[in-house]
């Protein structure tokens, strides 16, 4: 029998994508297990949620390390202990450094709330809204050393209705994210 793949979810925020992945696992539509949740924000809601689910967490404060290499060495140790196969970035608001990239080459995936290569970086939803585009969307991609530059795995478009306020667009994007991320992870795990 095939071994269930282990996911490490990295997040800094509310964790709605973490919830969607967790729910898909519980529903049996995603055949995987979350064996570690990593966060650089000790007070983040996602860490609370992970703890309530009894999941292992690795929480660190980047300011208490001399540089990225040092905290990423500790993250790699935690990942190895959790026997993580894939790293799933879900609102982890920092660039991944060479230490992690080399340890998990081709196994780090990110979700970004725009149709890349448009609107890279912070507040992609606000950028799209302010630009007045009529179509934006969601991208799932491999992570490389750049900011939202890795090879694209999946994309889905979201129409920006003329009646939308920024919050409406955010909600429409989230609906797509919560369906597309678990489904894309599942198809990657099947390969």
Please state whether beta strands 135-142 and 152-159 pair in parallel, antiparallel, or not at all (unpaired): antiparallel
Question: Cβ of residue 190: shortest distance to ligand GRF, in angstroms?
Answer: 23
5's tokens: 């793949």
Q: Are 170 and 151 in contact (CB under 8 A)?
A: no
Treating both helix axes as pointing N-terminal to C-terminal, what angle do 124-131 and 166-190 enclose, rounded to 10 degrees?
A: 130
- Is 175 annotated as belonging to a binding site? no
Q: Is 110 annotated as a binding residue?
A: yes
Cβ closest to ligand GRF, residue 18 vs residue 58: 18
At 89 the three-state DSSP class reads strand
94 annotated to a ligand binding site = yes
Distance CA 142, CA 121 (A): 15
172, two tokens: 């429409």
The residue at minimum Cβ distance from ligand GRF is 91
166 assigned binding-site residue: no
Q: Residue 14 or residue 118: which is nearer to ligand GRF going by CB?
A: 14
**Which residues in this chain contact ligand GRF in the complex, by CB under 6 A?**
11, 13-18, 90-91, 111-113, 177
CB of 166 to ligand GRF, least distance (A): 13
Residues marked as catalytic:
112
Per the annotation, binding residues are 15-17, 68, 93-96, 110
């Amino acid at each position: 029998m095939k071994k269930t793949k282990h996911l490490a979810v990295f997040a800094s925020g509310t964790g709605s994508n973490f919830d969607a992945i967790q729910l898909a696992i519980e529903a049996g539509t995603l055949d995987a297990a979350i064996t570690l949740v990593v966060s650089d924000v000790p007070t983040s809601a996602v860490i609370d949620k992970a703890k309530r689910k009894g999941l292992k967490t690795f929480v660190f404060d980047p300011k208490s390390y001399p540089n990225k290499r040092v905290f990423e060495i500790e993250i790699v140790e935690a990942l190895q202990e959790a026997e993580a196969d894939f790293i799933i970035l879900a609102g982890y608001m920092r660039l991944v450094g060479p230490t992690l990239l080399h340890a998990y080459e081709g196994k780090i995936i990110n979700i970004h709330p725009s149709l890349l290569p448009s609107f890279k970086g912070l507040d992609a939803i606000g950028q799209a809204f302010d630009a007045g585009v009529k179509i934006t969307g969601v991208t799932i991609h491999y992570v490389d050393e750049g900011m939202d530059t890795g090879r694209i795995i999946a994309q889905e478009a979201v129409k920006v209705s003329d009646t939308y306020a920024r919050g409406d667009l955010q909600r429409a994007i989230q609906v797509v994210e919560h369906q597309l991320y678990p489904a894309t992870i599942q198809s990657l795990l099947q390969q």
